[in-house]
Amino acid sequence: MTTTHCPYCALQCAMHLEPGPGGALAARPADFPTNRGGLCRKGWTSAEMLGVVDRLRRPLLRKDREDDFAEVDWDTALDYVADRLTDLRAAHGPEAVSVFGSGGLTNEKSYLLGKFARLALGTSQIDYNGRFCMSSAAAASTRAFGLDRGMPFPLTDLGEAEVVLLAGANPAETMPPMMAHLAAPRLIVVDPRCSATARQALAGGGMHLAPRPGTDLALALGLLHTARTANLLDTGYIAQRTTGFAQAWRAAAAWWPEQTEHVTGVPAHQVRAAAHMLGKAKGAYVLTGRGTEQHAKGTDSVSAWINLALGLGLPGRVGSGYGCITGQGNGQGGREHGQKADQLPGYRRIDDPAAREHIARVWGVEADTLPGPGRSAFELLDALGTEGGPSAMLLFGSNPVVSAPDAGRVRDRLADLDLLVVADFVLSESAAMADVVFPVAQWAEEGGTMTNLEGRVLRRRAAAAPPAGVRTDLEVLHGLATRLGQPAQRFPTDPDAVLAELRAASAGAPADYSGITPERLEAGEELHWPVTEGQAPTPRLFLDGFAHPDGRARFIPVQYRPAAETPDADYPLIATTGRLMGHYQSGAQTRRIPELAQAEPEAYLEIHPDTAARNGLTEGDWAQLTSRRGTTTARVRLRPDARRDTVFLPFHYAGAQTANNLTNPVLDPTSRMPEFKVSAIRVEPATTAQQGGHL
Ligand SMILES: Nc1nc2c(c(=O)[nH]1)N[C@H]1C(S)=C(S)[C@@H](COP(=O)(O)OP(=O)(O)OC[C@H]3O[C@@H](n4cnc5c(=O)[nH]c(N)nc54)[C@H](O)[C@@H]3O)O[C@H]1N2
Ligand SMILES: Nc1nc2c(c(=O)[nH]1)N[C@H]1C(S)=C(S)[C@@H](COP(=O)(O)OP(=O)(O)OC[C@H]3O[C@@H](n4cnc5c(=O)[nH]c(N)nc54)[C@H](O)[C@@H]3O)O[C@H]1N2
Ligand code: SF4
Ligand SMILES: [Mo]
């Protein structure tokens, strides 16, 4: 029996893996503070992915995109990719090649991928899918607190609180075992939909506030306004532990409850009741999820929530706080170790001369050879194959054909590349567009570390050897780097050797892992970063002061503005997107697991019965949705509790059911997060040819 953690989300539930009756590995829950012996349906079925029928076991290569793939041996595939990369670099310079990474990769892979881009390819053109995930919350936390660790406290603290406000998070579907920690507190759920989490809030004596998508910023300003006028603010805390309240207040001063109602649609009496519930609670937390973050003003929206938390005196104390619910398995660690366009390992900035010196020393190169900052994820995808943009991309751990905004445009850009190389376990929709596909090992076949949503570093353990013909991501990077002329020892294939280097690279940095050793991990120590050598870890940050030089948290004055698109005569409805319990992300993994695929076989559309009727639709019909970018199809589910102006779609489906055909790639100016949560659309019955069909 091997004890490890789930391959999917950032809760990183602990599980035991053991061969079942047929000899294949099966997962069952292990007791752990975050999951308390629970697993969701995806965790229970996760081991099936190891033996999925269309698992890739040999590298695939085609020299012409018109041709089918041929199975080739590893040397042929690696030589081919290295030669093509060398030629493209010689012809167009190092910026012609690009890398796209993932918050699903281990810390070791994230670190080595960034090093590979900067040293072996010498390119600045690397970013990753975390830009589409929690980047707005990360930016807002950094400017408020001086440091971003999604939850700067252990998850188990939540259970002690009286009230927890969840802004745009639906953990009842996205992290079901987390709900055990939210059973005692009363919940205030802010979600345009009456989600499973909102229903739980109502059942437990809490509240559901249903703002129009894209108006959270106004709602948070309205709650701050109400808290102040009701004398609920912690003025002593504001004076001693923060700066900037006066300016932030000026931005909130106009948001009395009736004005808030006018913009958000949340009744004024609910705004007042929620402010009182939160402000009077003995222990309270404000948590944000993607619903409030994935907007072109996501960073400012999160700042507005943090301002509310600061006004109430919550952050940096035991028993209360602000946190972002990070999503991907290694969404926290993946944002720290150098696969971001603007970053070097340890959360160092790539434009900081001291950071460059430190990393260059660890890597054994001169600092001036390190490239500068590159393009953010969507900007990178959108530049592919264009004049001045990269003509090659190496893709590790993401499926942007399904998950990127304005997916039709992204498909066109990928198609225009001279060289697309994908490492995956299966032929994902993005891998299917590639020139070369490397078949890689899965989570239960390799070691490494993951950092969960509370900043705790965990050990991923191998329970089986990879199938014959399959290599690890670290081996792929090693194979390419050495062919590109790098010394072999610079790209180790042993995860512990990479961790040793990552420890040195992160020493003294904001995300300091220098004290995180395999021995301490094996001993089960609770290693919340920063962890320096010989020092105790840091489960709760900011108790003695925030990470700004003056030790104070900063209120950020933020102004409300509408979403980039608002409904009009041609596109009269708002579409928002998100998740359902049984599928994960682009669905490349979960759509292949029979039990999950049968339970949720096709995209659906949650719509109010009146809105459906006005558009000629009823329960079970196939609907066609159209935005300024494209169209998608989904089966109608009538929801009498839905807002009449808003429909909801899960984004886990491919082909003609790709919700991202609709989405707006307008970007947040700070985080470069696209506006996944608001697109103006129209809806109509699908023609027979469109019904659930594939493009
Ligand atoms: N089952 C499942 N679980 C997952 C994942 C998965 O794909 N499937 N992915 C993991 C990852 S990477 C992530 S990032 C997390 C995401 O976890 P969540 O943040 O919980 O997921 P979402 O469903 O994207 O968004 C949450 C809610 O935001 C609401 N929403 C939409 N627009 C708005 C708005 O304008 N304002 C507000 N306040 N709410 C809005 C949606 O109705 C939805 O219920 O889940 C993780 N867990
Ligand atoms: N409309 C809309 N779009 C969204 C969102 C939304 O809410 N609405 N949410 C966004 C968010 S929060 C996220 S995080 C993204 C996620 O979307 P994606 O970045 O597409 O994430 P996954 O579907 O997890 O893609 C992972 C791919 O990598 C493979 N893979 C998994 N682990 C590994 C590994 O260790 N190594 C390698 N080489 N491959 C691996 C899987 O098989 C799969 O094909 O989607 C974003 N897109
Ligand atoms: S909640 Fe997340 S980590 Fe836990 S079993 Fe489900 S997918 Fe896995
Ligand atoms: Mo995510």
Q: Do 320 and 242 share a structural domain? A: yes
DSSP structural state of residue 519? H
Q: Do 270 and 230 share a structural domain? A: yes
Question: Is pLDDT of 197 > 90?
Answer: yes
Residue 586 near ligand 2, beta carbon < 6 Å: yes
Q: Do 24 and 67 share a structural domain? A: no
Whether residue 2 contacts residue 16, with contact meaning beta carbons closer than 8 Å, is answered with: yes
Residue 243 forms part of a structural domain: yes
Which residue, of 491, 518, 552, is where some domain finishes? 491
Domain count, the chain: 4
Q: What is the pLDDT of residue 467?
A: 97
Residue 557 forms part of a structural domain: no
Which residue, of 261, 291, 324, is where some domain finishes? 324
Residue 14 near ligand 3, beta carbon < 6 Å: no
In 3D space, the residue among 525, 364, 633, 483 whose CA is nearest the CA of residue 79 turns out to be 483
Percent of the chain topping pLDDT 90 = 98
419-424 vs 392-396, strand pairing mode? parallel
The pair phi, psi for residue 415, each rounded to 5°, is: -65, -25
Residue 169: band (very low, low, confident or very high) from pLDDT cuts 50, 70, 90: very high
Q: Ligand 4 is a single-atom ion; what residues have CB below 5 A from it? A: 133, 327-328
Q: Do 302 and 176 share a structural domain? A: yes
Q: Do 627 and 594 share a structural domain? A: yes
Whether residue 645 contacts residue 608, with contact meaning beta carbons closer than 8 Å, is answered with: no
- The domain that holds 293 is classified in CATH as 3.40.228.10
Instruction: Name the closest ligand to CA 676.
Output: 2
Instruction: Name the closest ligand to CA 591.
Output: 2
Residue 35 near ligand 3, beta carbon < 6 Å: yes
Question: Is pLDDT of 694 > 70?
Answer: no
408: its two tokens? 């039709």
Q: What is the pLDDT of residue 690?
A: 72
126-128 vs 97-101, strand pairing mode? parallel
593 alpha carbon – ligand 3 mean position (Å): 15
Question: Is pLDDT of 94 > 90?
Answer: yes
Residue 695: band (very low, low, confident or very high) from pLDDT cuts 50, 70, 90: very low
Question: Is pLDDT of 312 > 80?
Answer: yes
Q: Do 157 and 77 share a structural domain? A: no
457-460 vs 448-451, strand pairing mode? antiparallel
Q: Which of 399, 437, 449, 579 to mutate to test the pocket of ligand 2 (most atoms within 8 A of CB)?
A: 399
Beta bridge mates, 573 = 681
Residue 344 forms part of a structural domain: yes
Residue 129 near ligand 2, beta carbon < 6 Å: yes
- The domain that holds 672 is classified in CATH as 2.40.40.20
* Average of per-residue pLDDT across 168-186: 98
Number of other residues whose CB lies within 10 A of the CB of residue 586? 26
In 3D space, the residue among 333, 422, 331 whose CA is nearest the CA of residue 129 turns out to be 331
Beta strands of 601-678 (E only): which ranges? Answer: 604-607, 622-626, 631-638, 646-650, 664-667, 674-675
CA–CA dist 53, 51 (Å, integer): 6
Whether residue 290 contacts residue 134, with contact meaning beta carbons closer than 8 Å, is answered with: yes
In 3D space, the residue among 109, 57, 99 whose CA is nearest the CA of residue 427 turns out to be 57
Residue 170 near ligand 2, beta carbon < 6 Å: no
Closest Cα to atom 37 of ligand 2 = 397
- Residue-number span of the structural domain to which 19 is assigned: 2-51
- The domain that holds 36 is classified in CATH as 2.20.25.90
Closest Cα to atom 35 of ligand 1 = 213
658 alpha carbon – ligand 1 mean position (Å): 17
Closest Cα to atom 1 of ligand 3 = 175
Closest Cα to atom 6 of ligand 1 = 584
Percent of the chain topping pLDDT 70 = 99
Give the range among 27-41, 227-241, 429-443, 680-694 with minimum mean pLDDT: 680-694
Q: Which of 182, 264, 579 to mutate to test the pocket of ligand 1 (most atoms within 8 A of CB)?
A: 579
Q: What is the pLDDT of residue 692?
A: 61
Q: Do 150 and 282 share a structural domain? A: yes
Residue 5 near ligand 3, beta carbon < 6 Å: no
CA–CA dist 111, 128 (Å, integer): 12
Q: Do 292 and 378 share a structural domain? A: no
Instruction: Name the closest ligand to CA 397.
Output: 2
> pLDDT tens for residues 604-617?
999 999 999 999 99
Q: Do 413 and 352 share a structural domain? A: yes
Which residue, of 476, 491, 506, is where some domain finishes? 491
The DSSP line for 144-183 is HHSS--SSSS-GGGGGG-SEEEEES--HHHHSGGGGGGGS
Residue 403 near ligand 2, beta carbon < 6 Å: yes
> pLDDT tens for residues 117-135?
999 999 999 999 999 999 9
Closest Cα to atom 29 of ligand 1 = 291
* Average of per-residue pLDDT across 623-649: 98
Q: Do 193 and 88 share a structural domain? A: no
Question: Is pLDDT of 321 > 90?
Answer: yes
Q: Do 389 and 350 share a structural domain? A: yes
255 alpha carbon – ligand 4 mean position (Å): 31
Question: Is pLDDT of 627 > 80?
Answer: yes
Whether residue 495 contacts residue 108, with contact meaning beta carbons closer than 8 Å, is answered with: yes
Q: What is the pLDDT of residue 431?
A: 98
Residue 399 forms part of a structural domain: yes
Residue 518 forms part of a structural domain: no
Closest Cα to atom 31 of ligand 1 = 291
352: its two tokens? 């900081």
* Residues with Cβ within 8 Å of residue 354, at least 6 apart in sequence: none
Long-range contacts of the stretch 550-553 (C-beta < 8 A, 24+): 550/243, 551/241, 552/241, 552/242, 552/243, 553/144, 553/145, 553/241, 553/242, 553/243, 553/310, 553/315, 553/316
State if pTM tops 0.75.
yes
Q: Do 187 and 309 share a structural domain? A: yes
DSSP H helices, 265-316, are 268-280, 290-293, 298-311
569: its two tokens? 């005569």
* Average of per-residue pLDDT across 23-27: 94
- The domain that holds 84 is classified in CATH as 3.40.50.740
Residue 397 near ligand 2, beta carbon < 6 Å: yes
| Mean per-residue pLDDT over the chain, rounded | 97
Closest Cα to atom 46 of ligand 2 = 403
* Three-class secondary structure of residue 256 per DSSP: coil
* Residues with Cβ within 8 Å of residue 398, at least 6 apart in sequence: 100, 101, 102, 104, 128, 129, 430, 586
Residue 563 forms part of a structural domain: no
Residue 176 forms part of a structural domain: yes
Q: Which of 579, 586, 664, 677 to mutate to test the pocket of ligand 2 (most atoms within 8 A of CB)?
A: 586
* Three-class secondary structure of residue 666 per DSSP: strand
Q: What is the pLDDT of residue 687?
A: 86
Q: What is the pLDDT of residue 42?
A: 98
Task: Answer whether the bond into residue 59 is a cis peptide, omega within 30°.
Answer: no
* Average of per-residue pLDDT across 304-328: 98
Residue 693: band (very low, low, confident or very high) from pLDDT cuts 50, 70, 90: low
HEC per residue, 457-496: EEEECCCCCCCCCCECHHHHHHHHHHHCCCCHHHCCCCHH
HEC per residue, 303-360: HHHHHHHHHCCCCCECCEEEEECCCECCCCHHHCCCCCCCEECCCEECCCHHHHHHHH
Residue 565 forms part of a structural domain: no
The atom number, within ligand 1, closest to the CA of 169 reads 20
The atom number, within ligand 1, closest to the CA of 40 reads 1
